[in-house]
Structure 1
C-alpha cells in the first residue's frame, strides 16, 4: 500500500474522483428511477448510455472535427457542446423508450414474473452492445477535441481544469433539475404516486403506463448527459463502454439507496472518490474491486443503502 502517495496526492485524486463520480451518478439515476417505479433492474440501461456516446461522437464528426483537429474557439465550442448534448439525450431517450415499448411493456401486459424481466433486460443489453459492435467492427472511436483543457485554479498540487468543472456543474445541474421535477411538478407527483402504490394511483386517475414511459425517458435523458461527459473526459468510446461503467452506476445506486434520487448522486460521488483513492493505494487494477468490497461492507450494516428512502416517499 502507498499511504504516503495517497496523502501527497489527495487533492488531485479528489478532483479526479469527483469528476468520475459525477458521470457515475448521472448514469445511476436511470437505474434508480426505473427501480423506484417498477422494481426492475434495467441492465440494458448501460446501452442506453452507449447510444448517447456514439450520437455525440457522430454529431461532432458531422461538423468536420476529427481526432487530429484543434479544439475550437469559445463560441464554436459552446455550439458543438450543445449540439452533442442534444444528439446524445435524443438518442439515449429514444433508445430507452424503445426498450420500454418493445421489451418490457409486452411482459407487463402478460403479468410476467420478475425473473422474466431480469432475463429480458440482460438479453436486451447484450443484443444492443453486439449490434453496436458489429456496426463499428468492435473498434474504439476517438472523440474529437471539443474542449481545450486548461487549468482554472490551483490549490496546493491540485490543478482544477475547465473540463472537470464543466462535468461536475453539469451533473449537479441535471440532478437538481430532475429532483425539482420529481418533487414539484404534476408529472413528478404522478411518478411518486405510482412508485408508492400503483393501484391507489390508478384509482386517482394516474396513467401508470404513461408514468412508466416517463421514467424510462428521464433515465435516458440523464444517461445522454452522462454520455457526453464521458466522451469529453475519456476521449474514446467503444461498443462495450457501458458495461463496466453500468456496473459502477448500479453499485452507486445501491450504495446511496436504490430508488432514491439523491442517494444516486451521493453514491456516485462517493464511489468515484473511493475508486480514485483506491487506485493510488493499490494500483489501478484494483480500483473497481476495492469499491465493490466497500459496497458489500456498507450494505452489511445498512442494507437499504446510505439514504435508503424510496422514490415513492421522496419529498423536497
Structure 2
C-alpha cells in the first residue's frame, strides 16, 4: 500500500472510529453508573435518524434545525426510556435490568417497523446541495464544493472531515460537561458510590436520567452522521453499529469515557486498514470487530483503560 493510500485509509478509519466512539460513550457512561449494558442504545441511534428524516422530508425544516431537533429528541427518548423502563427496577437484580434492556431494544425496533415500516428508505442528506460537486485544493485555480477534498492527489471525503470535526466538538463538550460542571461532578460521584452520593443530598435519579440523555444525544449525533455516510435507513440499522460500539467500549475499558473514545478510534482505523490491505476480506469486517472482543476479553478483560474492579463478579 503506497503512502497516499495509507494516509487516505487512515483518515477514513479515523472518521469511522469517531462514530464508534460517539456511540460507545453512551454504553460506557451508563455502565459506569448503573453497571448496566443498555442494549437499547443502538436503537436510540436508529430513532435519531428517523427523527432527522422526518424533520427534513415531512416538516421541511432547514438541515441545521432538523439535526438539532433530532439530537434533542434522541436525548429525550433516552431520558424517557430510563424513567419508564429502568427506574422502576433500579434496586432489582442485574439480570432483571439486562432482560429489560433487551426488551426495550425489541420494543423500539418493533415500534419503528409499525410506524415507519420495515422498508429501507433513502436518507436525503441534510447538508446543503452545494456539497454535491468536488473541492479541489492546490494545483488548479478553480475551487468547487462537493463530496471530496483533494489535497496533493489524496482524496478526502467531505463527510469524513465533517464527521471528525463534529465528533471532536462533541467530545470536547463532553469533557467540559463532566469535569467542569456540577452535574458532571455528580455523575462522577455517582459512578463511584451511589449510596454515599445520595446520602450527601444528590438527586441520584436525576443524575442517572441526565446520563441517559447525554449518552443518547451523542448517539443521535453519531446516527445522523452515520446515515449521511451510509444513506439508507431501516428499523434494524442500529444493531451492527451498536454492537461494534459496545466492542469499542469493552476494548477501551467499559466504564471509562477516554477508553471508549480510544477503543472506537482503534476499532475504526483497524477495520478500514484491514479492508485496505486485504480487500478480499471486506466481507468479514463485521466479524473482525467481534474477533477483537474475544481477544481482549481473553487477554485483558478490563480493557485498555478500564479498572479491574469494574469487571469483578
TM-score range, shorter chain: 0.7 to 0.9
Deviation of 1:300 after TM superposition, in Å, equals 2.6
Unaligned segments of structure 1, at least 5 residues: 65-78
Native 8 Å contact 1:52 1:224 kept in 2: yes
Q: Distance in 2 between matches of 1:261 and 1:20?
A: 18
Residue in structure 2 matching 1:232, options 214, 217, 228: 228
Unaligned segments of structure 2, at least 5 residues: 132-145
Residue aligned with 1:34, SS: helix
1:102 alignment counterpart: 84
Q: Does 1:82 align with 2:79?
A: no
Deviation of 1:81 after TM superposition, in Å, equals 3.5
Residue aligned with 2:149, SS: strand
Deviation of 1:309 after TM superposition, in Å, equals 4.8
1:301 alignment counterpart: 299
TM-score of the aligned structures, taking structure 1 as reference length: 0.86
1:154 alignment counterpart: 151
Q: Distance in 2 between matches of 1:131 and 1:146?
A: 24
1:272 alignment counterpart: 268
- Equivalences, count: 290
2:200 alignment counterpart: 204
Q: What does 1:242-281 align with in structure 2 at a 5 Å threshold?
A: 242-280=238-276, 281=278
RMSD: 2.0
2:119 alignment counterpart: 139
Q: Distance in 2 between matches of 1:202 and 1:154?
A: 54
Q: Distance in 1 between matches of 2:111 and 2:229?
A: 25
Native 8 Å contact 1:278 1:286 kept in 2: no
Q: Distance in 1 between matches of 2:284 and 2:268?
A: 14
1:174 alignment counterpart: 170
Deviation of 1:7 after TM superposition, in Å, equals 7.4
Q: What does 1:15-54 align with in structure 2 at a 5 Å threshold?
A: 15-54=11-50
Q: Distance in 2 between matches of 1:84 and 1:21?
A: 24
Q: Distance in 2 between matches of 1:284 and 1:307?
A: 29
Q: Distance in 1 between matches of 2:159 and 2:167?
A: 12
Deviations 1:68-127 (A, max 9, x none): xxxxxxxxxxx834213212212211211111011111111xx21100100110011011
Deviation of 1:196 after TM superposition, in Å, equals 0.3
2:191 alignment counterpart: 195
- Bigger mean CA offset, 232-241 vs 301-310: 301-310
Deviation of 1:302 after TM superposition, in Å, equals 2.1
Q: Does 1:124 align with 2:104?
A: yes
Q: Distance in 2 between matches of 1:86 and 1:253?
A: 26
1:113 alignment counterpart: 93
Q: Distance in 2 between matches of 1:202 and 1:102?
A: 21
Q: Distance in 2 between matches of 1:179 and 1:132?
A: 33
Residue aligned with 1:152, SS: strand
Distance 1:25 1:17, change over 3 A: same
- Bigger mean CA offset, 188-197 vs 81-90: 81-90
Distance 1:23 1:99, change over 3 A: same
